[in-house]
Structure 1
Amino acid sequence: MLIDIGANLTHESFDHDREAVIARARAAGVTRMIVTGADRAHSPKALALARAYPGVLFATAGVHPHHATEYTDECDAELRALHAHPEVVAVGECGLDYFRDFSPRHVQRAAFERQLQIAVDTGKPLFLHQRDAHEDFVAIMRNFEGRLGPAVVHCFTGTRRELFECLDRDWYIGITGWLCDERRGQHLREIVRNIPANRLMVETDAPYLLPRTLKPMPKDRRNEPMWLPHIVEELARDRGETPEQVAAATTATASAFFRLPAPTPQTA
């Protein structure tokens, strides 16, 4: 049994076959999935999906740094209302992205801080995004030190130094199919064995980041949660472990991190 901690199942590419996508994931052993809420439009949709698949899908609610300009007082109130629902298990996706800079950096920082305050107020864990913004990211998180619950750096792509700085702060690490990209993920293969088993989680970030080592490649190049076992196999090889060991450890870690209920016979 695997848990995909980051699947963008509200994405429009799933509109024509979402039910089949979820069924394929479960048939592949991905029995629970966290649906990422990353803006004002998709966070409520993530909650709606989680409520439609109780015990199988859960949701996050937040505003990705790409959309930070939409973070108003009204947006903050909307997110807080979403977090009143038990199906919403984490604050985010939130953080900083200086690679794209789709929102001005000072606006990103402000939106990030407001969402960290939601995490403080609700006690929920954090689902974090960071790309090319490590120093500012760490500095802002440090300002909330001692007030936050657990945090996972979703889709970690950083350096060895950044990995150890995250681990030194007891943050969790989410690994995606980026690991399988020979063009830009090779450094991850060399450092993932340094992640303690109780700090490691796995995710597809579907429909993005289709593992490039899949054979044959899907014709539509769309990633799905059903490919999570492939990522686990690659990760296990790089860590010198068996896929079964990685599956068991990451599932236990994710279940505890998101405080998920025990699977029932219907959802297992």
Structure 2
Amino acid sequence: MDPNQQTPQETVVAPVAPLLEDQLELDMKHCFENLIVIDVGANLTNKKYSRDLDSVVQRARDAGVQKLMVHGTSVKSSKEALRLSRIYPDIIYSTAGIHPHDSKSIVEEPATWFDLEHIAQAQECVAIGPCGLDYQRDFSEPDAQKQIFAKQLQLAIRLNKPLLIHERSAQLDLLEILDKFENLPPVIIRGFMGTAEEALKYLERRFYISLTGYLCKDKSDTGVRRLLEDGTLPLDRLLVETDAPFMYPNTRASKLPQHVKTGITERSLLYLHRYCTFQRNEPCSLPAIVEMIAAFMKKSPDEVALATAFNALKLFGLS
């Protein structure tokens, strides 16, 4: 193929002249009926959204994202996530957490923990976390991670709010800590990137698992794709998130099966390729992720969208 020749997909997502912007929006609204989806993980406190957050939220709603959960991963971002939930009521909900990478900040400044507790008590804050263990990087020592993780488990139990857990290369230690606590609220393993065997250990404990655009990167025979293809991950344990601005779902990835690529609607591709990039993913990419999951599971996108939205509404008490 001539390297200068555009593929049909590229034609769909080519830049549009500013004068045609309104027409594009109109066309997109009538292109397909929206899936109704809920993004349980978007990092909208990230500075990449500082100039156009209103537009980002509106695009998400236009794409069919009914509600967004903005994660707090430190005291500062938890406070900002709560502020956003009050600026965009009934659309944005917040979480309050100390990410494993940030654990040392609480160890070094213990008084800041009380700020997090105060934020977590707000009605708009619907979950504790992301918290957990991450041994892939050494931003915080394992002992500090374990200490702050345990404090957040205690907080979630006391407030009876669901737990969002981040885990990388630390499953044994994580499960050992979790097993020490009784009366845990619902647990969500967010942005899962592990193996099917690891997922089974979570599912045996009746934990929920959320998936992201990492599906496009997973090339293993034992990972996330296998979970979906062989039915290991049931719909009643599944949630979806974009992890925006991260985890851009590269629907053009060479290892993505053709039946998955063709399962993504034109409408979802328009939002994805016009507004999202590797440098800045947006919540409006969520319908494309749901359609990919549905294709892997050999289910209809409507079925996956409905199940994951129901799970989110039930778990987090979203109104």
With the length of structure 2 as denominator, give the TM-score of the two structures.
0.79
CA RMSD, Structure 1 to Structure 2 (Å): 1.5
Residue of structure 1 equivalent to 2:12: none
Are 1:82 and 1:88, in contact at CA under 8 Å, matched by a contact in 2?
A: yes
Instruction: Between 212-221 and 49-58, report the one with greater CA deviation.
Output: 212-221
Residue of structure 2 equivalent to 1:251: 309
Deviation of residue 73 (structure 1)? 3.1
Residue of structure 2 equivalent to 1:50: 85
SS in 2 for 1:70: helix
Residue of structure 1 equivalent to 2:213: 177
Q: Deviations over 1:118-157 (max 9, x none)?
A: 011111110110001010011111111x321101000011
Give the partner amino acid of 1:154. R
Distance in 2 (CA, whole Å) between partners of 1:186 and 1:180 is 14
Deviation of residue 186 (structure 1)? 7.6
Counterpart of 1:142 (choices 179, 191, 194) is 179
Equivalent residues in 2 for 1:7-156 (5 A)? Answer: 7-71=42-106, 72-144=109-181, 146-156=182-192
Deviation of residue 31 (structure 1)? 1.0
In the alignment, does 2:314 pair up with 1:226?
A: no
CA distance change for structure 1 residues 246 and 61 in 2, over 3 Å: closer, same or farther? same
Residue of structure 2 equivalent to 1:190: 226
Distance in 2 (CA, whole Å) between partners of 1:180 and 1:186 is 14
Deviation of residue 184 (structure 1)? 6.3
Runs of 4+ in 1 over 2 A off after TM superposition: 182-187, 214-221
Q: Structure 1: which 5+ residue stretches go unaligned?
A: 262-268
Matched residue count:
260
Residue of structure 2 equivalent to 1:265: none
Structure exhibiting the larger radius of gyration computed from Cα positions = 2
SS in 1 for 2:210: strand
Residue of structure 2 equivalent to 1:266: none
SS in 1 for 2:126: strand
Are 1:119 and 1:125, in contact at CA under 8 Å, matched by a contact in 2?
A: yes
Give the partner amino acid of 1:64. H
Q: Structure 2: which 5+ residue stretches go unaligned?
A: 1-35, 253-268
Residue of structure 2 equivalent to 1:200: 238
Q: Deviations over 1:137-189 (max 9, x none)?
A: 11111111x32110100001111111010000010000000011155698211
SS in 1 for 2:111: helix
Distance in 2 (CA, whole Å) between partners of 1:171 and 1:56 is 25
With the length of structure 1 as denominator, give the TM-score of the two structures.
0.93
Are 2:208 and 2:238, in contact at CA under 8 Å, matched by a contact in 1?
A: yes
